Structure 1
Amino acid sequence: MPVRNPEPLRTLALLLSLIPHRPHEFLDRAAGYADLGLERLSGTLPTDETMTWEEALRDLDGPHGRVMKILEEPALREIEERTRRLLEGIRAEDAFSRRWAADSIFARLNYVACRLLEPDVVFETGVAYGVSSAFTLRALEENGRGTLYSVDLPPLRRQYERYWGVAVPEGLRDRWRLHRGSSGRTLPDLLRRTGPVDLFVHDSLHTLRNMRREFDTVWPHLRPGGILLADDVERNCAFADLRQRSPALWRVVRDREKAPLHGKAAPVVFGIAVK
């Protein structure tokens, strides 16, 4: 009898293939799968008050109204259209599931935050196609300064190398440092070597343990006034727990895309915290 869905078996085979050459990665991935399974059975979902994208932008905006001007920048429109065309072009091949490509609102938020902060050091966890990475790097290019450090375990797919970070244009890669590895294993050493962090973006494994670990690791390195962005915060209470650190601003955005970068318009939920 044929297997109805062979994908789990393919994933298991690829996972086991890591043991001889990348044993630490095998252990990290296996632990992540275990966490996902346990949380589906017993996870507690947050019940935080949310706001719309427009309301969040007003909270982020300063007295000079920079946010609306940033959203109208030609560079933002350029990277949006380029990314939309690219994702449409590779949809038939689609090495990664579409859910791993950042939504249009979260990608714009990355651009806006970078333009507002004019950061020297940006960290992100989770890359996949590199959609958020591309928006961040385009903003850094507009600023004329800054480096993006990306930490990611690429999805277990064959030929992932063809698509991992494919959304990042060659002309923006000079400011990009891509590190393969789990955030738990890779972030601490990188943070010690880079100094204070201006902007941190979480979009990797959305489990309670992983998100808490990332936030606990990064928060002491985040400069006062620095921003932490986290996608899919509705899945557990990790982002809600950040309020115990008394951030200057803490918001959860729940909205729906109007101009998606790929596929159909979808609901989005993400968090914004300012130290």
Structure 2
Amino acid sequence: MDRIKLRRAVARTPLAPIAAFPKRLRTVARHDAKVLRRSARWLLTSREHHNYTYDLTSLSRNHLAWFVSVVCDIPVKQVRAYLGEIESDDGLRQHLLAAIAASDRRGLADKEIRYARRIGWYAIVRATRPTHVVETGVDKGLGSVVLASALLRNAQEGHPGRVTSLDINPEAGYLARVAPWSEVVDLVIGDSIASIGALDRPVDLFLHDSDHSRAHEKREFDAVEPKLAPGAILLTDNVTSTNVLAEHAERTGRRFLAYRESPANHWYPGDGIGVAW
């Protein structure tokens, strides 16, 4: 009996799980070895302790382009142009490198500039041309600068806008404190729910990226709902952990989609973008 016939015969017997074990073990070992190599390299070369940054795989980047294309109802070719626009912005990249190098917190930030799913935020802002963007959760301010860059490009094309960035940490947002990006960023320090309640103009695009507990995420979307402009877009950075935005979309009669990123050469499995519109 040849090897193929023998395997097929064994597969029909109670010995099948035992016979398959070595192959299953090799598969798991190869996967775990890859993760361990990436983890070890990250431990030795990265400074980040949270809010990890990385590039997307080419497949994940392509899926992101289609995701934005569907949400914003624009050709995917245009979305790819927006993604390339932020990725090739040397002025922004040099600013970020200089700001990180000069910061007292540089020991917790990598020197390489990698945007991950934030390029999707950029493309959505470029496509929808919002007048007022609100983001909760700023940390170093990388996302704020990405959003501001999109708004500055929109302004050059005759569609100005501003981003209100909310964070409870008074040290947050050091990357967004330099012109020209700072010229379109209003950094507000305080509790996000109270800050949302104090907003004095309609919100065209809202991004939750603060306290990632389910209860707080829900409170933010409930708080911002009466502040939204007609046709406003809601985004969450928490979509891989909760179903809060999907439930909010269903409750308020909106559509909902989720995208999950795949980091390139990183141990972290990635986050995503949830959108309701």
Please give the alpha-carbon distance, in whole angstroms, between the structure 2 residues aligned to 1:220 and 1:213: 12
What do you get for the CA RMSD once the two structures are aligned?
A: 3.1
Cα distance change, pair 68–242 in 1 and its aligned pair in 2 (3 A):
same
Contact 1:125 1:152 in 2 (8 A): yes
Match of 2:174 among 153, 166, 169: 166
Aligned-residue offset at 1:97? 8.0
Partner of 1:177: 186
Please give the alpha-carbon distance, in whole angstroms, between the structure 2 residues aligned to 1:95 and 1:187: 32
Gaps of 5+ in 1: 1-50, 155-159
2:162 aligned with 1:147: yes
More displaced 10-residue stretch of structure 1: 207-216 or 67-76: 67-76
Aligned-residue offset at 1:61? 4.7
1:47-126 equivalence runs, <5 A:
52-65=63-76, 66-73=78-85, 77-78=89-90, 81-82=93-94, 85=97, 89=101, 93-94=105-106, 104-126=115-137
Please give the alpha-carbon distance, in whole angstroms, between the structure 2 residues aligned to 1:215 and 1:203: 11
Aligned-residue offset at 1:245? 2.7
Partner-residue secondary structure (3-state), 2:275: strand
Partner-residue secondary structure (3-state), 1:149: strand
Cα distance change, pair 238–129 in 1 and its aligned pair in 2 (3 A):
same
Contact 1:103 1:268 in 2 (8 A): no
Aligned-residue offset at 1:226? 2.1
Aligned-residue offset at 1:55? 4.1
Cα distance change, pair 240–75 in 1 and its aligned pair in 2 (3 A):
closer
The alignment-based identity, stated in percent, is 25
Aligned length: 208
Contact 1:61 1:67 in 2 (8 A): no
Partner-residue secondary structure (3-state), 1:139: helix
Partner-residue secondary structure (3-state), 2:173: coil
Cα distance change, pair 117–212 in 1 and its aligned pair in 2 (3 A):
same
Aligned-residue offset at 1:64? 4.1
1:197-236 equivalence runs, <5 A:
197-236=203-242
The residue type equivalent to 1:232 in the other structure is N
Contact 2:249 2:276 in 1 (8 A): no
Cα distance change, pair 176–257 in 1 and its aligned pair in 2 (3 A):
same
Partner-residue secondary structure (3-state), 1:251: strand
1:24-39 equivalence runs, <5 A:
none
2:272 aligned with 1:270: yes
Cα distance change, pair 265–148 in 1 and its aligned pair in 2 (3 A):
farther
Task: Encode CA deviations 1:154-181: one digit per residue, 9 max, x unaligned.
Answer: 1xxxxx73xx212223222121111111
Partner of 2:42: none
More displaced 10-residue stretch of structure 1: 125-134 or 179-188: 179-188
Cα distance change, pair 253–88 in 1 and its aligned pair in 2 (3 A):
same
Task: Encode CA deviations 1:190-217: one digit per residue, 9 max, x unaligned.
Answer: 1xx11x2111111100011110011111
Partner of 2:146: 135
- TM-score, with length taken from structure 1: 0.64
Partner-residue secondary structure (3-state), 2:144: helix
Higher relative contact order (CA 8 A, sep 6+): 1
Cα distance change, pair 180–274 in 1 and its aligned pair in 2 (3 A):
same
Aligned-residue offset at 1:227? 1.4
Mark the structure with the bigger radius of gyration: 2
- TM-score, with length taken from structure 2: 0.64
Gaps of 5+ in 2: 1-61
Please give the alpha-carbon distance, in whole angstroms, between the structure 1 residues aligned to 2:206 and 2:163: 10
